[in-house]
Amino acid sequence: MPKSTNYPKILFIMSKKVGIITGGGDCPGLNTVIDSVVKGLDKECEILGFYKSFEGVLNKDYTILTRSNTNPYKFQGGTILKSVNNGHFPGKVGTNLVSQIKPEILEKTIHNYHELGLDGLIVLGGDGSLSVANEFSQHGLKIIGVPKSIDNDLLGTEFTFGFWTAVEIATESLDRLETTAYSHDRVMILEVMGRNAGWIGLYSGLAGGANVILLPEIGFKLENILKFLEKRLKPNALIVVSEGAKLEGRGQIHKSSGGKSSESLLGGVGDEIASFLNKSGFDARCTRLGHVQRGGTPNSMDRILSRQYGSFAAELFLKGKFGSMVGYENGEFVEKNLSQCVTSLKQVDASSQIVELAKKMGVYFGG
């Protein structure tokens, strides 16, 4: 006798609804985190992916995320949810907190959050985006932050995802520049990202055998670099400089963006150094690595970190640990207080062990 197929229908209803946004500059590993969050929550939650950061919540511009539409892109660079680092939600300018979200924008975004029935919002972002997230948290929204930055400049975590890929790209660039430096007896200068924190410059400079490392945290003089190079008695050298490194007496260097606005952008300090050295008898060239550092697929370290960041963020959501940020300390992922993590930036300590190690190996920091 054939078995009856007239079973009662069981309707599965997702008990919770969660949103995900990505804000600020793009970064290797964003899609890996998104995919890991989805895989950690899709059995219990409906997951809304909002486009272009908080703008997506403001405009109700979203898509439903499932593992079938995130898994194919889990190791792709950039973000499938797109991103902005301007618009209606400015977070920080430099190291200073700003509150410029217009009241009507704030109110509409909060209204949409509740109207959509969200039980929480997972924010993948850097210092600026997480500062905005913290502001919404203060207004009662249930927020979980995931620290994203190639600059590695966020408090509450030892390493942000995206950082190691940027370091690897910069290190490979130094390896390539070194052969040209030797072949042509030149000083080759690599300008890397790092507005207020020089972690990329420090780690890549140490890994790539740079002779001079210049960071935003340690002011430098052009004359001191010249004296150092002259004492080496070698015409070839490698210099890595963070874009935010400060010339004593002049501060950071800015140049015209050449874009739609007349806004000036940080960068050009490497060209200033090259120009000075060329006038002083050296043959110097500068390469600005620019956005190459933040594009493309994450390396193995960032893939592992991103998977863990996303999984732990999903766990925090299920436990109701809102107003928190995922942190990484001593090889473990931990819950951190979001508001405490956006009070200031994590910068390189000039007296730290790794800086002292570099000095013992003969690296000069320009001070």
Active site residues: 151
Q: What distance in Å separates the CA atoms of residue 201 and residue 30, rounded to the nearest whole number?
A: 22
Q: What distance in Å separates the CA atoms of residue 245 and residue 176, rounded to the nearest whole number?
A: 23
* In contact, 148 and 185? CB cutoff 8 Å: no
DSSP string across 85-120? SSSS---EETTEE-----HHHHHHHHHHHHHTT-SE
- What does the H/E/C string look like for 237-255? EEEEEECCCCECCCECCEE
**What are the Cα distances from residue 360, in Å, to 261, 268, 356?**
45, 29, 6
Distance of CA 346 to the CA centre of its chain: 12
- Alpha helices by DSSP H, listed for 265-299, are 269-279
Cβ atoms within 10 Å, residue 250: 11
Of 245, 249, 281, 282, the residue nearest 266 (C-alpha)? 245
Q: What distance in Å separates the CA atoms of residue 40 and residue 62, rounded to the nearest whole number?
A: 20
